[in-house]
Structure 1
Amino acid sequence: MRGLARPALRAPWCRSLWALPPKAAANAASSPPPHPPPLAGASPGALNPFDRRLKRKQKNWAALQAEPAKCDYLREEVGGRIADRVFDITRTFPLALDVGSGRGYIAQHLTKETVEKLIQVDIAENALKNAIESEIPTIKVVADEEFLPFKEDTFDLVVSSLSLHWVNDLPKAFKEIHQVLKPNGVFIGAMFGGDTLYELRCSLQLAELEREGGFSPHVSPFTAVADLGHLLSRAGFNTLTVDTDEIQVNYPGLFEVMEDLQGMGESNCSWNRKPLLHRETMLAAAAIYQEMYGNSNGSVPATFQIYYMIGWKYHESQAKPAQRGSATVSFGDLAKIEGLLKRGKK
């Protein structure tokens, strides 16, 4: 597990919905965006756990704040780690796509020697307008991650950082990414895992059980790591790599956790979310959070589990597994080799 320092200064504009007046909170939770919904192409009867209109509104709101970078520390950290994985591939990518780019958290770490041109796609136009400067030539496109408006076999590289966990149809999104990749193209992505914010989730559930006799989901559902490899394989990717990491950030308390989540544009947008939280329940949750997970210095940790994934689109030049039964060395001989090496060191 790695730690990440939260900026000491708090942005005064980061306020959770529960702290707003009831009417304003209800409007913020339910009012539609001024643009057509990004789910216009969704098939009837599709399983849609997330309100994509609300997510677009949340991300647009976060990007318009006076200092949006104050809550971007987690996205910038993960964006840098995605860029490191791109650098590990010793080739130049003429054209790359960043799916759910936000304000360009991956692009700022890339170089022209690695990526010659980058197209950034996000549902929030304000995030694209306020993108972080990069030395790479970029083109910004407002589009839904589930409905990529590009032709087949277009990109040499597709990256995505902390965006796909809000996609309603993740298998379809992976298929879209695979389709727009050129043969021998690579997809490198990161998304939140199932243990993300377990401290916050448990504290809110216990507080609601105590104060209201039941609880509602306040943290969105996440994909299990065991499913990722299967989903990528079904989409057509091969030579898969999936690994997990945890980043822990310390906060003064529960309220600051929720404030920064809203500042990141990461407020819950599930259809079955509870629009308002009672103040008494929130105070109880803060006390439970401190009692169960608090650090010795009075702060509380928030854990973010990150899944990193790499998948390639098939090309005949790629290495192929040997045929079954073609091995010339038995696994039983490995123990003999190890013994010989130990004797040689003596």
Structure 2
Amino acid sequence: MKFYLNCLKVVRLYSINFNRQLSISHKYFQRPETLPNVFDRKAKLKQRERTCLDPDYKIYSYVHERVAQSLVDRIFDIKRTFESAVDLGCGRGLTASELTKDVVKRITMIDSSSLMLDQIRPPVEENGHDGIEIIKKHIDEEQFSGDESSYDLAYSCLSLHWINDLPGVLRKVLHALKNDAPFIGAMFASDTLYELRVALQLAENEREGGFAAHISPFVEPPDIGGLLQRIGYNIVTLVR
């Protein structure tokens, strides 16, 4: 377990929109006619729902829990109370379970898996704080949409990695955020489990005479920073 935790590289995206324009043209949100289908969303959904049926899933969720705690620390660094937040790709609600009512009043939790939504642990049970309103929405993260300037906070914990139209989703999140509202996200970067991946490639090359791709593509930190700035996010901060 120590090896995995030490080798995990996660990029956290912390963006606050100062003086964001209230009106964004419809063309800005139009999706291209064809999108690169890098990830099979249906296959990913089946994988995630299989984990919901595993009674020992907590044994394998320690990395997600650790990243969720780190993401919540970033939210706590912002000294304000958020009336409305959206959790994009909430899973079992590990991030929301760490929040308190003096920080967030209402959380809209979005996930493509209905089984994941059913297993969300309410913050009141985890923290002893009541008063946080939880709204569950069974929507594919790629189909996320929100009214303009409707959220005070948006966050996503290890869900953006499997999004095909990442620029489109980030634009929609920006559209749904109010002025001066932060977006905080965590996703796997290119150095994630690098030593383990190299060891497996060397072993496969020795046994099979070559190796094939067994993992999903990773983003490069400079690329995601540039993408956020081009979309319109201000004060972009990347933390490894």
TM-score (norm 2): 0.81
Q: Determine whether 1:167 maps to 2:172.
A: no
Tell me how far 1:4 sits from its aligned partner. 7.5
Choose between structure 1 and 2 for higher RCO, CA contacts under 8 A separated by at least 6 residues: 2
Q: Determine whether 1:178 maps to 2:174.
A: yes
User: Could you tell me which residue of structure 2 aligns to residue 57 of structure 1?
Assistant: 46
CA distance in 2: counterparts of 1:146 and 1:176, whole angstroms:
10
Amino acid of the structure 1 residue aligned with 2:182: V
Amino acid of the structure 2 residue aligned with 1:123: S
SS of the aligned residue for 2:175 comes to helix
Amino acid of the structure 2 residue aligned with 1:199: E
Q: Determine whether 1:80 maps to 2:76.
A: no
| 1:89 maps to which of 70, 74, 78 | 78
Tell me how far 1:183 sits from its aligned partner. 1.4
User: Could you tell me which residue of structure 2 aligns to residue 101 of structure 1?
Assistant: 90
CA distance in 2: counterparts of 1:130 and 1:43, whole angstroms:
35
- Structure 1 unmatched runs, 5+: 7-40, 245-346
Structure whose CA Rg is larger:
1
CA distance in 1: counterparts of 2:54 and 2:214, whole angstroms:
24
User: Could you tell me which residue of structure 2 aligns to residue 117 of structure 1?
Assistant: 106
Tell me how far 1:42 sits from its aligned partner. 7.6
CA contact (8 A) 1:201 1:218 kept: no
Q: Determine whether 1:199 maps to 2:195.
A: yes
Amino acid of the structure 1 residue aligned with 2:40: D
SS of the aligned residue for 1:184 comes to coil
CA distance in 2: counterparts of 1:202 and 1:4, whole angstroms:
14
Tell me how far 1:212 sits from its aligned partner. 2.3
User: Could you tell me which residue of structure 2 aligns to residue 212 of structure 1?
Assistant: 208
User: Could you tell me which residue of structure 2 aligns to residue 298 of structure 1?
Assistant: none
User: Could you tell me which residue of structure 2 aligns to residue 28 of structure 1?
Assistant: none
Amino acid of the structure 1 residue aligned with 2:110: V
Taking the TM superposition and a 5 Å limit, the aligned residue runs for 1:34-73 are: 44-73=33-62
CA deviation map 1:266-322 (0-9, x unaligned): xxxxxxxxxxxxxxxxxxxxxxxxxxxxxxxxxxxxxxxxxxxxxxxxxxxxxxxxx
CA contact (8 A) 2:145 2:176 kept: no
User: Could you tell me which residue of structure 2 aligns to residue 340 of structure 1?
Assistant: none
CA deviation map 1:138-179 (0-9, x unaligned): 111111222213222111000111111111122112111111
CA RMSD in angstroms comes to 2.1
Amino acid of the structure 1 residue aligned with 2:71: I
CA contact (8 A) 1:80 1:109 kept: yes
TM-score (norm 1): 0.57
- Structure 2 unmatched runs, 5+: 7-29, 125-131
Taking the TM superposition and a 5 Å limit, the aligned residue runs for 1:137-286 are: 137-244=133-240
SS of the aligned residue for 1:229 comes to helix
SS of the aligned residue for 1:94 comes to strand
Amino acid of the structure 2 residue aligned with 1:208: E
CA distance in 2: counterparts of 1:233 and 1:139, whole angstroms:
30
- Would the alpha carbon gap of residues 5 and 44 (structure 1) be closer, same or farther in structure 2, given more than 3 Å must change? closer
Tell me how far 1:224 sits from its aligned partner. 0.5
- Would the alpha carbon gap of residues 3 and 188 (structure 1) be closer, same or farther in structure 2, given more than 3 Å must change? farther
Tell me how far 1:122 sits from its aligned partner. 1.0
SS of the aligned residue for 1:121 comes to strand
Tell me how far 1:214 sits from its aligned partner. 2.1
User: Could you tell me which residue of structure 1 aligns to residue 10 of structure 2?
Assistant: none
CA deviation map 1:204-257 (0-9, x unaligned): 32223222222211121100011121111112110111110xxxxxxxxxxxxx
CA deviation map 1:34-56 (0-9, x unaligned): xxxxxxx9854311211111111
